Amino acid sequence: MDTPKQQRNRKINTCMECRRLKRKCSRTYPCNHCQQTSRDCVFPPIYPFTPTARSSHSQSPAATASTAGSTASSNHAPLPPVQDSTSAWPDMCLRMGRMSFTERIGGLHRAKALEEMEKILAEAYSRDLDLQPNPEVDQFSGTVAAWFKPHDLLPLGRLFSPPTKASSKDLITLSHEHQRLLIDRFFLAVYPVCPLVTEEDLYDTRPLVVPLRLAVFYAAAASLPLLDSQRLFGSPKLTLVRRLHDAATEALLQADSINCNEVIIFQALLVYLTPQFLGEISRSHSVYISAVIRHFQLAGLDKPAERDPETKRNLKLHLWHHLLFLNIRATEAVGPSGSLLDDTTAELPVMRSPDDIVSIVRYECYRLHRWVFRERDRVAAGNLAVERLAEEGEKRIHDIRTRCLDHLDHRVPLQKYAHLVGTLMLARAKSMISQGALARKPQEVEGWDGNKTVRDMRGEAIGPELDIVEIGILLDTDPDLAPWSWYASAYHQYHSVMIPLIQICQNPDIHNAERFLAAMDHVFGPLSPLSSIQRRATTLLRAISDNMVSFLAMTRSNTPIPSLSDRLELREEDSYGADMMEFGITPEWETLTVAPRAPQYEQLSFDPLLEVLLSGPDGRDSWLYDENAVSQPPFHENGMSQPLYHENSMSETPYGENAISQPPYDEIAVSQPPQA
């Protein structure tokens, strides 16, 4: 018989909001925190304590002896072995053409996807011997690059460290003209997708504005075309972006951003993170954004106060929804389980400028995506039918399209961009709903074919997948959308080609097969026109499968990987290895001999850290925050405790007609990374 749950005998003296956010409560009504943030201050009711047989200290000697014996045995039980430092997965990414592989691929775990692809290829080879690898036919006219890249841009190890004195050597200077160019570029290319900063914010006289300015410069540089960077700044784009990234990082560290609760710091943090949440999302991104979300909640900014001015209230709503957007971007890489933050009561910000249309459409669509994640969990638990999920999803998609997209004018480039982004997001939502059959219990779905419902749902996913890929190509290549093409990879990573590839391998006569292959040529590079449709799809799927084997081995995944001998049984000796070398893709038996460059935080175990970060506000205390740390002022009386820039770096002159001749600040010294 199960032991009954022990009752809590200690009185709860804090209000429910302070208890949820792990903050010190003043125990008044309303308490200070709830009064400042306009939250509902609710104290739990006090129930009279009635002693029971379970709560009484009188216990039978036998029970006492058994408890003591179990305690003694547990004290002497062998401890679990400490995991070796090499068991931590490197934070890496595999990229083939324009498609990036991280923890998950289109909602499927990468190891599970590999098993499915191996099974499909084996079935295709057994059905048609002509599909066996043939170097004379399987030739790419363009190279497909597969490479491993550690994620080292996010300063995860330094985020939780105290600020250190910045080095004054190797400084470069941004002239007033360059600063003005970057600011103009920010409001042209970055502000529509990240409407968190206004020009008034940039000429604020507080020391905290320095990280914000450098974050704006960094985001603007990340959006520059390659040729413009060399022409305007005389520096390659990669060098310029790296230097501004390092400068923004140092400024955030010097500002002690982890202990600062000012809105301007969160503006700087989110602008700083926006260029880093594009095509390659890893566990470090999830940890980082979870820390920022937890910090944002502790500062009481996730729910705007009623006494806030309308402008500040709208800014807080934009910040919170942008955090939710970055959270779901990280969720797509590491999976929704335990990491998806869903605030169903958050109201949307008001559109105060025509440039806000893209963000409003995106907030609506990603709110729908979070709903799909919730409902798919219900499908997996057997509490909701897939057909019911599809019906309700169609209603929500139609509602968003009617309210947000139908009235947009395609003759206006920004509205055309917003319409395409919204259409892509809705197609992704429909694809996620169609793939809800994958979330069913394993015993209900056997293999890729599964039952009739599963086959129908996967067949319905073909149309949305085609829309996703073709709209993604438009976002990359349309000249009217060139200012925002740098951000196209934030909406998808061409994972939508996976299901069509598999379908074509199984049935080359499906509708729109040629359109899919034309899109695949854009993603992976053109294939040999002499090959049949099914052979071209099989060649691509085989290349993806082989490189994923190498990727899983490099990341030290615990998932069983098909042995090389088993895989070679499907081929004719080693002809495919030479074939892959001609394609520019290193086969697994070559790739495994090359050790990747280890990131600085390779030995860091991300899973416990992520668990702690995501435990609040409804879980246990987080070791990242305590009352003393949050309440400490981030700056001394005279500005930053360890200023990175000289005293004249901030001028009180606002932007105006003579902004170039009278800039709002002097030349800012940007730290240049030391030469190797």
- Of 446, 447, 91, give the one whose Cα is nearest residue 287: 91
pLDDT at 221: 94
Convert the pLDDT of each residue in 328-355 to its tens digit: 888 776 665 667 787 778 889 998 889 9
Structural domain contains residue 482: yes
| 470, 493, 516 - which closes a domain | 493
pLDDT at 466: 86
Give the pLDDT mean for 2-16: 66
Residues 286 and 216 in one domain: yes
Structural domain contains residue 454: yes
Residues 376 and 272 in one domain: no
Output the average pLDDT for the chain. Answer: 69
- The owner of tokens 């200290």 is 57
Greatest alpha-carbon span in the chain: 88
pLDDT at 98: 82
Residues 290 and 422 in one domain: no
User: At residue 80, does pLDDT exceed 70?
Assistant: no
Contacts of 177 (CB under 8 A, 6+ apart): 660
What's the DSSP call for residue 79? P
Q: Which domain holds residue 414?
A: 351-493
- The owner of tokens 């994958």 is 438
Q: Say which residue, 449 or 491, is predicted with more confidence.
A: 491
Convert the pLDDT of each residue in 518-533 to its tens digit: 888 888 877 766 667 7
Residues 243 and 275 in one domain: yes
Residues 184 and 323 in one domain: yes
CA angle (434, 289, 617) in 5-degree steps? 90
The number of distinct structural domains making up the chain is: 4
Structural domain contains residue 70: no
SS3 label, residue 147 = strand
- Of 482, 490, 536, give the one whose Cα is nearest residue 514: 536
What percent of the chain shows pLDDT beyond 90?
20
Give CA–CA dist 22/19, Å, rounded.
Answer: 5
pLDDT at 632: 32
Residues 166 and 130 in one domain: no
Which residues in 427-574 belong to E strands, given as ranges?
A: none
Structural domain contains residue 642: yes
Q: Say which residue, 255 or 634, is predicted with more confidence.
A: 255
Residues 177 and 206 in one domain: yes
Q: Say which residue, 469 or 143, is predicted with more confidence.
A: 469
Residues 20 and 166 in one domain: no
- Of 238, 192, 236, 99, give the one whose Cα is nearest residue 482: 192
| 587, 604, 621 - which closes a domain | 604
DSSP letters, 173-192, are EE-HHHHHHHHHHIIIIIGG
Structural domain contains residue 676: no
Convert the pLDDT of each residue in 452-461 to its tens digit: 655 666 667 7
Residues 162 and 299 in one domain: yes
What's the DSSP call for residue 41? -
Structural domain contains residue 355: yes
pLDDT at 512: 77
CB 458 within 8 A of CB 394: no
Q: How far is CA 491 from CA 107, 287, 439, 471, 496, in A?
A: 14, 20, 23, 11, 12
**b/e per residue, 377-404, with b = 16+ CB within 10 A?**
eebeeeebebeebbeebeebbeebeeeb
CA pseudo-torsion sign 44, 47, 53, 56: positive
User: At residue 655, does pLDDT exceed 80?
Assistant: no
- Of 97, 256, 89, 246, give the one whose Cα is nearest residue 605: 89
- The owner of tokens 């961009």 is 417
User: At residue 191, does pLDDT exceed 70?
Assistant: yes
- Mean pLDDT comparison of 19-28, 219-228, 603-612, 661-670, highest-scoring range: 219-228
Give the pLDDT mean for 175-188: 93
Give CA–CA dist 560/562, Å, rounded.
Answer: 7
